[in-house]
Structure 1
Amino acid sequence: MFTRNFQYPAPVQAGDKVAILSPSSGLPEIFPDVYELGLQRLRDLFGLQPVEYPTTRKMHSRPEDRARDIHAAFRDPEIKALIASIGGDDQLKVLKYLDPELIRANPKPFFGYSDNTNLHNYLWNLGIVSYHGGSILVHFGRGGSMHPDTVTSLKQALFTRGEYELKPALHWTDEPGDWRDPEFVRKEPHMFPGEGWTWHNAGEVIEGTTWGGNLEILDWNMRANRYIQPVESYAGSIFYIETSEEMPSALEVYRILMCMGERGLLKQFPAVIVGRPKAWDHNQPFTAEQKARYYQEQRDAILQAFHEYNPAATIVFNVDFGHTDPQLILPNGGKARIDGVQKRIFVTY
């Protein structure tokens, strides 16, 4: 079912209905206040009408039921886009229930990250551009207010089509508030000053089609060996990766990339965009020193893997997408331009 002819679905317009789905975890059932805050911001800041489905607020839904809701959202002509409520850890089991022809016949923008990398990869194989980023609970429902960089990027990806420049955040965090805190919705998270991006092998301008997502989920896709295409299918693509709140060790990151390298995958990518790694979690509250060590060790692991399998690749580190805040939106299957001369990144929504 693979095609390299990518199609950008039509953008949404103010007043449109958008599907709010839980293709992974049904956490809106457990954190309804945060979820409702996210829905209200979708209405107030974006002018969109959220439409829920039977599994949207239901934990532990069967994979086939989640697939049914995905089908319903793609099939309904009144629904103009799909947004995931949150990620999870078992969306891979949903894919076998999806009807590729139904989805291909009704292309629509899909927004999500983390475990939603599974659906992004599935859509990539169908030739449909999707959008890595955005979730109702995490980004729309952010404590205090939505990060302005996230709002700007989301609005561009939702409502426009054309080239957009990604820029380093002036302030960022990987220490979100606690959803269990009754004061969460009023508290802004603790922010850190931005330090810009780090470039490796900069010096040329590279253009290509994006492919990637959360590194751990891409690893699962490779292990399942059902949704990864022959390596030559990715030739010339711009690879983008980020790691989750589970904070995989540098050794694990290296081993995942090593296996991709042995498969012949890493040498297909002339450029790589690496998301700022999340190095703090409520279950692992790293100190500043531990964070700095984690960042450096992950960077070294990525550099080592590419030194072995694709030493000429341009790599940009600490780009603001993935599991940190703010979250810039990356088109999956869309166009990107990595300008290593001026050290700028452009994507096409």
Structure 2
Amino acid sequence: MRTMTYPDKPKPGDRVAVLSPAAGLPGLFPVPHDLGLRRLTGDFGLVPVEYPTTRRLGSSPADRAADLHAAFADPDITAVITSIGGDDQITVLSHVDDELLRANPKPFFGYSDNVNLLTRLWELGIVAYHGGSIMTQFGRASRIHPLTEESLRAALFTRGTYRLSAPDSYGDEDVPWDSGAMSVEPPMFPSTGWEWHNADRIVEGPSWGGCLEVIAGLLMADKVLPVEEYAGCVLFLETSEEMPSAGDVHRILRGMGERGLLGQFAAVLFGRPKAWSIDRRTTPTEKAEYLAAQRESVRRAFAEYAPDAVLVLDVDLGHTDPQLVLPYGGTVRVDGPARTITVEY
């Protein structure tokens, strides 16, 4: 099993890099970004340092990689936090200096398109953190969700175990990113909790995975390791605001299964699907149908390719609210009999 190293954690008062290695959307939507920065400073006591491409739309992959290198190489920077995701971070990977990152390990926080860099850090043996972007978690309308904040604090500042908590309610409907809406609490809906299958044993191992659409892109570009490198890990997956169809989800999982990848994992966490977006404002009935169809496609794929894996659906990770931070490459313990998920931050 791959040996993973936890980088040193920041402490209040430290300088942390705020980067946009996926997309410079803070330049287009400064309101949630600036709100997130104020909370990073006022609530978490950290000093954000922005780089040339943080607010610049259309930055080249080489320029975004240069900012990443500058942040990791600076001894005064103790963590790297992404502003938001994007679409083309896979093009940045060919510009990444692996030896520079390996020689200067730091906690890296991001999700969605940032899974491209999370997988690269995983391959270098550096534990990173899936979640906690400035515009979406720190810059959430009204306030940071309490469960998100608790998870973020633990991941940022502490070591040791942390038990993830299933919330009583969740949200997947966004408010507009303008100053008039940012004081409004996003709508929340009753949560049915996590759905467990094959929950008759305990599985523990380093995590790997992320946004399903990004993983699919990495697989198509052959930017993953041989399947046996993932043996003994805990897989986690989730889908984005693009809301892929149940058929697309099954096809991606089927491809992973045919590759022999799904069979490497003894436990799988699948995130609660986002079933509404600004561009696709589904009705309650449409949301319920979408959620049911995606869950069924996931259950079917793992029944076909990893029938003995412990499978947990609707875990609050990725593109959902609250968002629980997972240590990417860190230890995850899935306790089926106790119905608990514990992570090592």
TM-score, structure 1 normalization: 0.98
Cα distance in 2 between the residues matched to 1:298 and 1:315? 14
Look up the match of 1:234: 230
Q: Pick from 56, 63, 69: which aligns with 2:67?
A: 69
| 1:11 maps onto 2:18 in alignment | no
Q: Pick from 101, 121, 124: which aligns with 1:123?
A: 121
Cα distance in 1 between the residues matched to 2:239 and 2:179? 29
8 Å CA contact 2:176–2:182 kept in 1: the answer is no
1:74, distance to aligned residue in structure 2 (A): 0.3
Q: Deviations over 1:94-151 (max 9, x none)?
A: 0100110000000000000100000000000000000000111111111111101110
Cα distance in 1 between the residues matched to 2:55 and 2:105? 24
Cα distance in 2 between the residues matched to 1:18 and 1:182? 25
1:182, distance to aligned residue in structure 2 (A): 3.6
Cα distance in 2 between the residues matched to 1:311 and 1:344? 20
Aligned 1:219-258 pairs, distance under 5 A: 219-225=216-222, 227-258=223-254
Look up the match of 2:173: 175
1:36, distance to aligned residue in structure 2 (A): 0.7
Look up the match of 2:208: 211
Look up the equivalent residue of 1:276 and give its one-letter code: R
Look up the match of 2:189: 192
Look up the match of 1:308: 304
Q: Name the SS for the 2:5 alignment partner.
A: coil
Cα distance in 2 between the residues matched to 1:215 and 1:344? 23
Look up the equivalent residue of 1:262 and give its one-letter code: E
Q: Pick from 124, 138, 159: which aligns with 1:161?
A: 159
Work out the percentage of aligned pairs sharing the same amino acid. Answer: 56
Cα distance in 1 between the residues matched to 2:32 and 2:161? 32
Q: Name the SS for the 1:336 alignment partner.
A: strand
Look up the equivalent residue of 2:34 and give its one-letter code: E
Cα distance in 2 between the residues matched to 1:320 and 1:284? 21
Cα distance in 2 between the residues matched to 1:326 and 1:6? 27
| 1:266 maps onto 2:268 in alignment | no
1:308, distance to aligned residue in structure 2 (A): 1.0
Q: Name the SS for the 1:185 alignment partner.
A: coil
Q: Deviations over 1:177-214 (max 9, x none)?
A: 111x4412211101112221110111111111100000
1:4, distance to aligned residue in structure 2 (A): 1.5
1:11, distance to aligned residue in structure 2 (A): 1.0
| 1:332 maps onto 2:332 in alignment | no
Cα distance in 2 between the residues matched to 1:137 and 1:303? 32
Cα distance in 2 between the residues matched to 1:326 and 1:14? 23
1:175, distance to aligned residue in structure 2 (A): 0.5
Q: Pick from 99, 102, 108: which aligns with 1:101?
A: 99
Q: Name the SS for the 1:317 alignment partner.
A: strand
Runs of 4+ in 1 over 6 A off after TM superposition: none
Q: Deviations over 1:234-254 (max 9, x none)?
A: 001100000000000000000
TM-score, structure 2 normalization: 0.99
Cα distance in 2 between the residues matched to 1:134 and 1:184? 21
Cα distance in 2 between the residues matched to 1:171 and 1:93? 37
Cα distance in 2 between the residues matched to 1:193 and 1:247? 20
Cα distance in 1 between the residues matched to 2:179 and 2:129? 32
Cα distance in 1 between the residues matched to 2:182 and 2:287? 26
1:318, distance to aligned residue in structure 2 (A): 0.8
Q: Deviations over 1:48-91 (max 9, x none)?
A: 00000000000010000000000000000000000000000000
Look up the equivalent residue of 2:140 and give its one-letter code: R
Q: Count residues with an aligned counterpart.
A: 345
Q: Name the SS for the 1:186 alignment partner.
A: coil
Q: Structure 1: which 5+ runs fail to align? A: none
Cα distance in 1 between the residues matched to 2:29 and 2:197? 41
Q: Name the SS for the 2:182 alignment partner.
A: helix
Look up the match of 1:276: 272
1:282, distance to aligned residue in structure 2 (A): 1.1
Cα distance in 1 between the residues matched to 2:84 and 2:124? 23
